[in-house]
Amino acid sequence: MAGYEIRTSNSKKGKGLFATKKYDQGAVILEEDPLVSCQFAWNAAYRYLACDYCMRPLETPEQNVRRLACKPDIVLPHSNCFETNLESITTCNQCAVLYCSEMCRDRAYATYHRLLCYDTSDAQHPITVLLEAWKQMHYPPETTNIMLLVRILAYIEQSSNPSQAAAKIKQFCHRTVNEDAELVHKLLGEQFADQLNTLRDLTSNLISGEHVQEFLTPEGFCSLMALIGTNGQGIGTSPLAMWVNAVLEITMSDDERQQIDLFIDKLYQYVEEESGTFLNTEGSGLFQLQSACNHSCAPNAESSFPYGNHRIQLKALKPILPGDEICISYLDDCALQRSRHSRQKELAQNYLFVCWCERCSSQSSQPDCTSEEEMSEDDADD
């Protein structure tokens, strides 16, 4: 039986995820595959080869680090501690899209790929045209992807019960038209109105049908863009990180441990020199349970991708009691360390809410700015 439920919270936050049993620190609360997921457009263009369905990287840790560090002769020790099943890589029967396994290929085809299968070398194809237009609007660091939106539409249209699938998607939307427009403005920048129309036209060229029409009107499309902007959960996978984690688990002598630690430090140094901080296969996905989790600046849970693909895991960061709300942080670690003012500013801009978590409430007497660094950053934003 599940140890959690989605229900309305007493505060103004609307729905939330609540524990119905006790979780010890470190306990797994839930695991979930997304309704749909998609690798970011530039991430794919930069040769981060991944399964088109589950985002599992299609290279070994050694191939990964050789590519990122531009050092073709790096050899990773303990390479057997981490299994990569590259023999099972396969392609779609009709196009060149790659999958990590036949299972992923079949699931993709059954979920959305039947409507989206196309010749990727065709520069005139509506999907190629949309992707190129998108890449001109949205540069790295990428936060969302137009193809996630397209896959959502295909998921609805291909479903055996399209109205139920559409209802599932609409559960993620709970804002007013003005709020949606504000979020999309933030996502696309100053020219958002023009760009939104362009994206809508290009999307309508590649998918249509009775059940997706409501999402292709100006308001419906804006709301769907806002949905992927706020509910799209970032997904990151890295063969190198998986190997490092596996090596940490191996029992070895102190000497050997020290050597391998130094070796790993050096690897990351090489990688950083060549590839900067863009190390992961990155994309985003739409998760039903995970997206019900509200934000807290003092979260009691965190999510990760322990299987090296798009399957998410939610773990308790501290003991959680029955009735407690399960909260994650929408801010990254760095932003989370900042003052209440900075945290609230970022949450208001990206998610349109004022945070009244325990930590924010207890810091409500803090001044609106706490450091010069934050003040000058604020100026730069404005």
Residues that bind Zn ion (CB under 5 A): 51, 53-54, 56, 92, 94-95, 100, 104, 117, 297, 355, 357, 360
Read off the tokens for 350: 């990206």
Vertex 67, ends 62 and 71: CA angle to 5°? Answer: 85
- The 8-class DSSP code of residue 20 comes to S
| 104 versus 212: smaller Cβ distance to Zn ion | 104
The answer to whether residues 39 and 346 touch, using CB atoms and an 8 Å cutoff, is no
Q: Compute the least distance from the CB of residue 267 to Zn ion, in Å.
A: 26
Q: How far apart are CA 73 and CA 177, in angstroms?
A: 55
Cβ(347)–Cβ(353) under 8 Å? yes
Amino acid symbol at 91: T
- Least distance from Zn ion to the Cβ atom of residue 65, Å: 21
Least spacing, CB of residue 303 vs Zn ion, in Å: 18
Distance CA 306, CA 26 (A): 13
Q: Decide if 7 contacts 15 (C-beta within 8 A).
A: yes
Q: Compute the distance between CA of residue 17 and CA of residue 116 in angstroms, rounded to an integer.
A: 34
Q: Which CB sits closer to Zn ion, 53 or 243?
A: 53
Quick one: which of 348, 350, 347 has its CA closest to 299? 347
- The smaller minimum CB distance to Zn ion, of residues 109 and 192, is found at 109
Q: Which is nearer to Zn ion, 184 or 297 (CB)?
A: 297
Would you say 54 or 74 has its CB closer to Zn ion? 54
Nearer to Zn ion, 223 or 281 (CB): 281
Q: How far is the CB of 361 from Zn ion (least distance, A)?
A: 8
Write down the least CB distance from residue 352 to Zn ion, Å. Answer: 15
C-beta closer to Zn ion: residue 38 or 196 = 38
Residues 6 or more apart from 81 whose CB is under 8 A from it? Answer: 243, 246, 247, 249, 250
Nearest distance in Å: CB 100, Zn ion:
3
Minimum distance, C-beta of residue 296 to Zn ion, in the bound complex (Å): 6
Residue 349 CA, distance from chain mean position = 18
Beta carbons of 172 and 231 less than 8 angstroms apart: yes
Cα 34 to Cα 8, 139, 151, 171, distances in angstroms: 22, 24, 12, 14
